[in-house]
Copies of this chain bind each other. A is one copy, B any other.
Amino acid sequence: MRARSEARMQKLEVRGEGTGWHRESYFWPTPPEDGQMVITGPEARHISRVMRHAVGSVISVVDGAGGEHEVELEAVRADRVTGRVLSNTSWAREPKHRVAIAQALLKGDHLAQVCAQATELGVSRIIPFKSARTVGWLSEARLERFRTVSLAALKSSTRTALPKIDAPVDFERLLGMDGEFDQVLVAYEEENGVGLGAALRRDVRSVLVVVGPEGGFEPAEIDALKAVGAIPFTLGPRRLRAETAAVAVAAVTLGLLGDLG
């Protein structure tokens, strides 16, 4: 755990919050200058009006790239909040491993749910992709919504690094990504023998786990993934909805790598 400043601890005691400091983080990508943080726009309004922080409040501001600033507020207006940086940390509360999820396009709002829950759990990247049995494409507006949902999850989960949510790729492009990860796994319902615990190498720094669409992969797609080194694994004999599979895979993978407690 990070060192806690005297000033902050005193304030926390006054507010009676004990160890529950990290109720929510605020997001501001611009770094402080000369130890001063200036936040404007909707995030300033959120801090001042919605969360009702006042002068003297100590808040956590994350930049989405792993940086976190502990800021004591010195001036609070609806459209502009400024404060003094008490401390800076880097990569706090982030997993040690990069776990990426490639998720086939899903109907409805299921992919948004995957983005939110995978962000909370600690996934580093989400790659939507098209395969033989996916329907439609992903509009720029929906992609933007996924990124908004992921940012909200970053703040509620007090993560410091924002997962990258890729623009959707076609299956060929997905196949070409194997070089970016130490290991590539694929959840496949026709796989019988190998579970995730057996398939996942424990010495990886990065792993990509591929989860198919509602209708599953075509055998030729699995063959193509295996040809670039992907290891198929089973999630057991029950049929999981894709969004449940994605969240289960994220939790189990992070857990096996020691990044979920």
Contact = CB atoms under 8 A, between A and B. Distances in A.
Interface residues of A, number: 46
The 9 closest A-B pairs by CB, nearest first: A195-B261, A248-B251, A234-B261, A93-B237, A236-B261, A157-B238, A252-B255, A117-B244, A251-B251
Given A120-B240, A247-B251, A252-B255, 12 more contacts: A117-B244, A120-B239, A156-B239, A156-B241, A195-B255, A195-B258, A195-B260, A196-B255, A196-B260, A234-B261, A235-B260, A255-B255
Overall SS of chain A's interface: loop
A194 B256 CA distance: 14
Contact of A120 (B197, B238, B252): B238
Contacts of A256: 255
B261 A196 contact: yes
Given A244-B247, A261-B233, A255 B197 contact: yes
A236 B96 CA distance: 12
